[in-house]
Structure 1
Amino acid sequence: MAAATLTLSSKNYSSWSLRGWLLCRLAGLRIVEQTIALDDPENRAELLLLSPSVLVPRLTHEGASVWDTLAIAEYLHELYPNVGMYPTDRKARAHCRSVSGEIHSGFANLRSALPMNLKVRHSKFPIFPGARPDIERVEAIWAECLDSYGGPWLFGDEPTVADAMFAPVAQRFLTYAVPVSRATAAYCQTINSWSLMREWIDDARAEPDEMIELETEF
């Protein structure tokens, strides 16, 4: 497989970077990681030249430049259609795309109330009431998928694009000790025990502690 470059932000705070990285690893694409610190003016200017939307992650591969997580997922699926990024069944594949698109475009209250921070664990955390409908909707999506496809992943025996897209949410639930159902808690542990997730968390914990808040994460 050809090498590619994946431009990332903080591994501790950047939920979008995590999604893009997991997608590349799911596809089996060999990547070189390039970290951009958005609080560095020179790096920010560089990123502006690379990507007009100033969004990470950004995948560069054989002349193609892709900087949206779902676009990355579709690009990788086109390259490697047989590695299992989406379910093989047509209806399940449509379902997977739908729930992945939903988390990609919505849940603003959840994102702002429970920002990703992989270095901390709260035993009790006040949750903004406006985030409750988002939490309930995530639980409903997960319950439907787990019931329909048997778990332990959202679409069966192996992780798919949907698990990569929802992985940061599972980590948020764990970080802030969000009260959830038993099935939701079990799925959060599935994500947390994922070898790829453990690799990412180890790298996140090695980062410097201070990072400015990034608008691009919301």
Structure 2
Amino acid sequence: MQDTEMQPALAAMLDQERAGLRLIIGNKNISSWSMRPWVAMKAFGIPFEEVRIVLDRQDTTSRIAEYSAAGRVPVLLAGDITVWDSLAICEYLAEQFSILNLWPEDVAARATARSICAEMHSGFSSLRSDMPMDIRASLPGKGRTIGSQADIGRISEIWEDCLSLYGAHEFLFGAFSIADAFYAPVVMRFRTYGVSLAPALQAYADRVLAHPAVAQWVREALMETEGLPRHDDSAED
């Protein structure tokens, strides 16, 4: 990227910062939907203020309602604009910071990336319910149901196809993108529940874990102290 191309991007970032870009998230240990836009923003150097709301508390609903009538996290506040839903937030960021290429540049790769993110967004319900994200836990072998095993198989297929067609054995589409941010919580689940992967897929999962944005999220999740006797994804989207 040329310096002359970077100047508008930097100016856009500063404009967003002055507008008070804020991301409302849940606990880092369990809020997989919050993780997605947070990791994307950190990975691409988009400045924002983090507002963390602890889930599964008596005041959780009222606190989230201060930022969004939808009653779910994450929520992005950009000046007078409110964007809720993790995929909508990432699409908004991709538009506002287009020079940074949050989506792959290639048309076919970008279409595939959007498709697999939409599939993650609307599918894999068994994986989410049977193997909820819990970064601090180690639960090898737990949550293995027919449904979750089917979801694991489909995710493995997606990763294999993307790495083979576009990834050049790095991230799903070569450079880190929204797609990798969307599947980062899956990497967390696979680690927590001890899911065995083919060597190439495990190597991909390891690269995601080592990415600075993901590594920072994990570090901060491990520092959280809230006890979590119960969790579902009703306050997340």
Which TM-score tier does this pair reach, normalised by the shorter chain? over 0.9
Partner SS, residue 86 of structure 1: coil
Q: 1:135 to 1:34 in 2, by over 3 A?
A: same
1:202 counterpart residue number: 219
Structure 1 residue 49: Cα displacement? 4.1
CA contact (8 A) 2:126 2:148 kept: yes
Q: What is the aligned partner in structure 2 of residue 214 from structure 1?
A: 232
Q: Label 1:5 to 1:123 Cα distance change in 2 as closer, same or farther (>3 A).
A: same
Structure 1 residues 171 and 43 mapped into 2: Cα distance closer, same or farther (>3 Å)? closer
Pick closer, same or farther for the CA change 1:43–1:111 going to 2, 3 Å. closer
**8 Å contact kept, 1:113–1:131:** yes
**What is the DSSP-based 3-state SS (H/G/I as helix, E as strand, rest coil) of the residue aligned with 1:215?**
coil
| Correspondence for 1:87 among 78, 94, 104 | 104
* 2:51 alignment partner, one of 30, 34, 57: 34
State the Cα RMSD in Å. 1.6
Residue 147 of structure 2 aligns with an amino acid whose one-letter code is G
Counterpart of 1:8 in structure 2 is: 25
User: Helix, strand or coil: the match of 2:155?
Assistant: helix
Equivalent pair of 2:171/2:204 in contact (CA under 8 Å): yes
CA 1:126–1:6 in 2, change beyond 3 Å: closer, same or farther? closer
Does residue 18 (structure 1) correspond to residue 67 (structure 2)? The answer is no
TM-score (norm 1): 0.93
* Closer, same or farther: CA 74–17 of 1 in aligned 2, 3 Å: same
Structure 1: give runs of 5+ residues left out of the alignment. Answer: none
Determine helix, strand or coil for the equivalent of 2:138: coil
Match of 1:76 in 2: 93
Asked whether the equivalents of residues 113 and 127 of structure 1 are also in contact (C-alpha less than 8 Å), the reply is yes
Q: Which residue of 2 aligns with 1:154?
A: 172
Q: Mind listing any 5+ residue stretches in structure 2 that lack a counterpart?
A: 1-13
Query: TM-score normalized by structure 2?
Result: 0.86
Q: Is the 8 A contact 1:26 1:85 kept in 2?
A: no
What is the CA-CA distance between 1:46 and the residue it aligns to? 3.0
The 5-angstrom pairing of residues 120-135 of structure 1 reads 120-125=137-142, 127-135=144-152
- Residues 27 and 80, structure 1, Cα contact 8 Å, conserved in 2: no
Q: How many residues align?
A: 217
Q: Distance in 2 between matches of 1:80 and 1:24?
A: 10
How far does residue 175 in structure 1 lie from its aligned partner after superposition?
1.1
Distance of 1:42 and 1:130 partners within structure 2 = 33
Equivalent position of 1:112 in the other structure: 129
- Name the SS for the 1:155 alignment partner: coil
CA distance in 2, matches of 1:16, 1:140: 22
Give distance in 1, aligned partners of 2:65 and 2:226. 25
